[in-house]
Chains A and B, each alone.
Chain A
Amino acid sequence: MSNSFKIAVSSTDLSALKSRIESATFPDELDDAGWAYGVPLTDMKRLVARWRDGFDWRQEELKLNNELPQFTQDIEVDGFGSLNVHYVHKKSDRGAGIPLLFVHGWPGSFLESRKIIPLLTKGSGDSQCPVFDVVAISLPGFGFSEAPKKKGFSLSQYVEVSHKLMIALGYTEYVTQGGDLGSRVTAGIARRYGGMHSKAWHTNVLFSMPPENDDPSSYTASEKEGLARWQEFQRSGSGYFQLHSTKPQTLGYSLADSPVGLLAWIYEKLVSWSDNYPWTDDEVLTWVSIYWFSRAGPAASIRFYYEVAHSGQALGTKSSPPTIPMGCSLFPKELIRIPKSWYPGVGDVVFEAEHDKGGHFAAHEQPELLVGDLRKMFGKVARHFLRDVYSSLSVSSFTFFYCLQAKNDGV
C-alpha cells in the first residue's frame, strides 16, 4: 500500500550539516593542478561557502515536493525481507499514459527524473505524441528508500524490487528507461520480466562484449573514438569504480563523516561526465544533499558496485541479451560507446538516436532530446514496426498494444 511522501529533512540534520561545514578543513593543492588531480580547490571552496551560507535546502525541498509527487511503499524482496521503497509517481495529463519506469544510477537519484517528468506526462500538445505515466524509483540504498541490511543485494534484487513496484502500482505491463547502473537494472528487468511485463526498454548506456568475429577495421571513426574514450576512462577515470567494488565500507566512513568529502566525490563526476553542462552551485548542492540526507546514508549507495562485482554479474560477464525491443540514445560524452557490431550482445535494438551534444546524465543535461527519443520510440511513428514485433506475442500483450493505440487515438 502506498503512502504519500514529502521530503522533510529535520532541522537537527540541517543544523548538524551547517555546523559540519563550518568546521571544514581543506587540503592544499599543487600549482596549476587544474582538474588533473581531481576537483580543483577553488571550486570546492566556492561550493562549500555556498552550502554553508546561501544555499536554501528548505526551498529546494519545497520545490521538489511541489514538482514531484512522491510515495513510499513496502516491497518484499526474496531473502531480504521487506524494504520501504521511495519513488516518484506521476500519471500522464491526458488519457492512460504508457507506464514508464525510470531507473537512476550512481551518483544519480530520483532527482534525475525532474526535468523529463513534465515533458513525458504532458506531451507536446500534438495528439500524435504519446504520453507516459512515470515511476522514478529510488533504488534501495539511495535517496529516501531503505537499504538492504544483508550482504548480496545485487542486480537480481534491484531488478526484483523495481518490477514488483510496477506491479504494485497496477502496471502489469510497462516499459523502462535507464542510464548508468539503471541501464544494468533495466537490462535485467528486460531479461527476467521481458515479454510478459517489460515490453520494451530504452537506455542511454550500451555495454557489451565484442562478438566472436569482431572486425575492428570495420569501426567508424566515432566508434573508434568511443572505444578510445572508454579505454581512457578505465585508465584514468575508474578509480572510484575499483574502490566501490572492493572496499566500499572503508570509503564509506569518509563519505558519511565529511560533507565536503562527499561533495568532492560526487561533484567530480557531475562535471567530468557531463557535456559542458553549466551546473549552477545550487543545482550541485541539491544533488549532493540528496546523498547527504539520504535515508540509508551515503555509504550505502556504493555497495551496489561491490555486490555486482561479487555476484558473477560484473561488467563483461557474458549473459544472453534480452529479446524484447530495445531503444538507445547515444550522447557524445557518455563514458562508453560500443561499435554497432556489438549491439546483438546488448539486445534487439529497434530504435537508435544519435545526438551531437549531451553526456552521461542525459535526462538532466538534455531532457528534451531524451524525451524526444522516447516519444519517437513509443509513438505512432514506430507503431507499425512495433506491431510486427508484437504480433508474435500473446493475446494479452496484443490487446495491450491496441489499447495503447486506442488510448492515444482517443485523446
Chain B
Amino acid sequence: MSSYKIDIPPTALSTLKSRLENAVFPDELEDSEWAYGAPLADIKRLVARWRDGFDWRHEEQKLNAELPQFTRDIEVDGFGTLNIHYVHKKSERGLGIPLLFVHGWPGSFLESRKIVPLLTAGSGDARLPVFDVVALSLPGFGFSEGPKKTGFSFTQYAEVSHKLMLALGYTEYVTQGGDWGASITKEIARRYGGEHSKAWHINLILAGPPETQDPSSYTAIEKDGLARLQEYKRSGNGYYRIQATKPQTLGYSLADSPVGLLAWIYEKLVNWTDAYLWTDDEVLTWVSIYWFSRAGPAASLRIYYEVERAGQGIGRTSDSHIPTTPLGFSHFPKELGRIPKAWYHLVGNVVFEVEHDSGGHFAAHEKPELLVGDLQKMFGKSGPAFGVVLGRNGYDG
C-alpha cells in the first residue's frame, strides 16, 4: 500500500493546453439547442475556460487535501496484479461502518467528494452513525491500472473491490453504488454476501421485466419511471450501444480529442442530472480525471463491451441468483428510469426504500445530504441494517 497524491506531470498539462489551443469545432444547426447533443456555445465556453482560466493544479491540490488517497496491488484471478487507486477516510469518531462506494461511467472516485465528509464527520448528531469510507477507482478508471486482457467483467470488478476491502482489514462491510456501481455491488452481494457484504444500497435500480406483468397495477410514478426508461432506450442510449460494441473505434476519438471527450461526458452530466447547476470548473475537473486517467479515456468504455459479452448488460432480464443480502434503495426522480415495486424481487431483498422529489443520476454529487441521510437512516440505530457489520455499528463502543 502506498499513499497517493494526484500529480499530473507538467508535460501532460502543456500537451492538453496545446491541444485545446488548436481545437477545431463543428458547426451547429440553428435552434438545435440540446436536441442533437451538447450545444456548441456550451462546448466553446468550456473549452475556452479549460484553455485559459481553469487551474488544474489548484483543483488537484484541493482534491489531495480533501481526499486521502492510496494505491495498492490487488491480484485478480486470470488478470494478474492491478494497481488500484482509492480514497480511504476513516470516521472521525467511534467505530465507522466500513462503506465501499462504487462509481460508474462517466463517474469516478470524485463522486465521493461531497459524501465523504458527511459520512465520516465526527461533529454531527451523535444519534447518526458514522462510516469509514473507501471509494475505489474501478480498474480502467481514474488512477487505477486497467486490465490488459479481454473479459474483465462484473465478476472481476466485484473481486477487486472485495479484495480491496479485505486488504484494508474490513472483513465485513457495506456498499453504496450507482450506475455500473449498482451492478457491481449487486455482484459483490451475490458473491460475498452474508459473510462479507452485509448490506448494499443503490440509487440505480434496474432489472426485469419479470415473466408475468400486470401493468394496470403500476402507480403513476412507476409508469412514469418505465416511460423514462423507454425514452432512454429510444433516444438516450446511443453512447451505450457504441461503447458496448465498438469501444476501441470510439476510443481513438476520446484519446485524441479533449474537446471530443468533454462533449461526450458533459452531455451526460447535464442530461442525467436534475437541473444541477454545474460550474464550468466542476465540469472540467470531472472531465480532466478522464483525460488524465492512468489508463486513458478509451479504457473506461470497455466495461460496456465486457458486460454485454458476458450477457450481463442492461437488457438482461433475469438473474440466476438474486442476492439475499439486505438491500436499500434511494429513488431520485431524474434517474434514467425506474422499475415497479412488482419487479423488486429481481433485484434483491429490499429492506429500505426512500423517495425523493429532486435529484438525478449522480446522486452523491447532486444531493449528497439526501443520499447520506438515507444511508444514516438505513444503518442508524433504528434502521433496518443497524449493526450488520460486527463490531462496527457506526457509534462509539
Give the Cβ gap from A176 to chain B, nearest Cβ, in Å. 27
Chain A's nearest CB lies how many Å from the CB of B378? 36
Contact A253 B36 (CB under 8 A): no
How far, in angstroms, from A10 to B19 measured CA to CA in the complex? 22
Q: Are A242 and B242 in contact (CB under 8 A)?
A: yes
User: 1/0 contact trace for B12-25 toward A, CB 8 Å?
Assistant: 00010011001111
Kindly state the separation between the CA atoms of A307 and B29 in the bound complex, as whole angstroms: 12
Q: Residues of A with Cβ closer than 8 Å to B?
A: 16, 19-20, 23-33, 36-41, 44, 147-151, 236-240, 242-258, 260-265, 268, 296-300, 303, 306
- A253 in contact with B263 given A30-B149, A33-B150, A238-B241 (CB within 8 Å): yes
**Are B30 and A149 neighbours in the complex by a CB distance under 8 Å?**
yes
B257 pairs with A254, CB closer than 8 A: yes
| A252 cross-chain contacts in B, Cβ below 8 A | 26, 37
A27-B248 contact, Cβ under 8 Å, with A247-B37, A249-B32: yes
Contact with A along B289-307 (1 / 0, CB 8 A): 0000001111100100100
> If the complex has contacts A28-B296, A38-B246, are A249 and B24 also in contact, measured as CB distance less than 8 A?
no
B264 at the interface (CB under 8 A from A): yes
Closest to A19 in B: B22
**Judging by beta carbons under 8 Å apart, are A264 and B249 in contact?**
yes
- In the complex, the answer to whether B37 meets A261 with C-beta atoms within 8 Å is no
B249 touches A32 (CB 8 A): no
Check: B135 CB closer than 8 A to any chain A CB.
Answer: no
A148's nearest neighbour on chain B, judged by CB, is B29
Could you tell me if B150 and A30 are in contact, using CB atoms closer than 8 angstroms?
A: yes
* Contact A37 B263, CB 8 Å, known A30-B149, A256-B25: no
Question: Could you tell me the distance in whole angstroms from the C-beta of B156 to the nearest C-beta in chain A?
Answer: 13
B238 and A25 form a contact (CB under 8 A): no
Cβ contact within 8 Å between A26 and B256? yes
Which residues of B28-42 have CB atoms within 8 Å of chain A's CB atoms? 28-32, 35-40
Instruction: Rank and list the top 7 A-B pairs by shortest CB-CB distance, nearest first.
Output: A261-B253, A254-B260, A38-B249, A250-B37, A249-B37, A38-B248, A299-B26
CB of B155, distance to nearest CB on chain A (Å):
17
Q: How far is the CB of B76 from chain A (nearest CB, A)?
A: 14
Contact of A253 with B150 in the complex, beta carbons under 8 Å: no
Contact A258 B256 (CB under 8 A): yes
Instruction: From known contacts A26-B252, A37-B247, A264-B253, infer whether A246 and B29 are also in contact, taking CB-CB under 8 Å.
Output: no
Bound-state Cα–Cα, A23 to B250, Å? 18
**How far does the alpha carbon of A245 sit from the alpha carbon of B241 in the complex, in Å?**
12
**Bound Cα distance A41, B295 (Å):** 15
**Inside 8 A of B178's CB, which chain A residues have their CB?**
none
Q: Given the complex, which residues of A lie within 8 Å of B31, measured CB to CB?
A: 150-151
Which residues of B are in contact with A by a Cβ distance under 8 Å?
Answer: 15, 18-19, 22-32, 35-40, 43, 146-150, 235-239, 241-257, 259-264, 267, 295-299, 302, 305
Which A residues lie within 8 Å of B39 (CB)?
A: 249
Complexed CA–CA distance, A263 and B250 (Å): 11
| B19 → chain A closest CB, angstroms | 7
Q: A32-B150, A299-B27, A303-B36 are in contact. Are A261 and B241 (CB under 8 A)?
A: no
Report the Cα distance A217→B69, complex, angstroms.
62
List 15 interface pairs A-B (beta carbons < 8 Å), by A numbering: A19-B22, A23-B19, A37-B305, A38-B246, A151-B29, A238-B241, A248-B37, A253-B43, A253-B260, A254-B261, A255-B253, A257-B260, A258-B257, A265-B252, A268-B249
A98 vs B36: C-alpha distance when bound (angstroms): 40
| Known contacts A249-B32, A249-B37: A261-B305 contact under CB 8 Å | no
- Min CB gap A335→B, angstroms: 14
Q: Is the CB of B38 within 8 A of A297?
A: no
Q: Which residues on B sit within 8 Å (CB–CB) of A245?
A: 238
Contact yes or no, B248 A247, CB < 8 A: no
- Which residues on B sit within 8 Å (CB–CB) of A44? 252
Interface residue from A243, A255, A263, A297 paired with B242 (Cβ < 8 Å): A243
Query: Residues of A contacting B261 with CB < 8 Å?
Result: 254
A245 to B121, CA, bound (A): 47
- Assess A242 versus B252: contact at CB under 8 Å? Given A28-B295, A248-B37, A250-B263: no
Evaluate contact between A27 and B242: CB separation under 8 angstroms.
Answer: no
Q: Could you tell me if B299 and A28 are in contact, using CB atoms closer than 8 angstroms?
A: yes
Closest B residue to A26 by CB, please name it: B255
Complex CA–CA separation, A236 to B245 (angstroms): 5
- Are A242 and B241 neighbours in the complex by a CB distance under 8 Å? yes
Whether the Cβ atoms of A253 and B25 lie closer than 8 Å is: yes
Contact, CB under 8 Å: A256 / B24: yes
Q: Is the CB of A240 within 8 A of B260?
A: no
A292 nearest CB neighbor, chain B only:
B24
Other-chain residue from A37, A243, A297 in contact with B27 (beta carbon distance below 8 A): A297
For the A-B complex with A240-B246, A254-B254 known, give 4 more contacts whose Cβ atoms are closer than 8 Å.
Answer: A148-B29, A239-B238, A253-B26, A256-B25
User: In the bound complex, how far is the Cα of B246 from the Cα of A238, in angstroms?
Assistant: 10
Structural contact, A256 and B30, CB atoms closer than 8 A: no
Q: Nearest CB to that of A262 among chain B residues?
A: B253
How far is B18's CA from A247's CA once the two chains are assembled, in angstroms?
27
Complex-state Cα separation, A263 to B43, whole angstroms: 23
A37 to B35, CA, bound (A): 29
- CB-nearest residue of chain A relative to B296? A27
B residues near A244, Cβ cutoff 8 Å: 238
Residues of chain A contacted by B305 (CB below 8 angstroms)? 37
**Given the interface contacts A20-B22, A28-B296, A44-B252, does A251 sit within 8 Å of B30 by beta carbon?**
no
- The answer to whether A247 and B149 touch (CB under 8 A), given A264-B252, A299-B27, is no
> Is B246 in contact with A37, judged by CB distance below 8 angstroms?
yes
- B252, A27: Cβ atoms under 8 Å? yes
Complex Cα gap A39–B252 (Å): 9
Provide the residues of chain B in CB contact with A247, threshold 8 Å.
36-37, 238-239, 267
Provide the residues of chain A in CB contact with B238, threshold 8 Å.
Answer: 239, 242-247
Give the docked Cα–Cα distance between A252 and B38 (Å).
10
Distance between B22 CB and nearest chain A CB, rounded to angstroms: 7
Our pick among B147, B242, B244 for the contact of A30 (Cβ within 8 Å) is: B147
Indicate which residue in B15, B26, B248 contacts A300 across the interface (CB closer than 8 Å).
B26
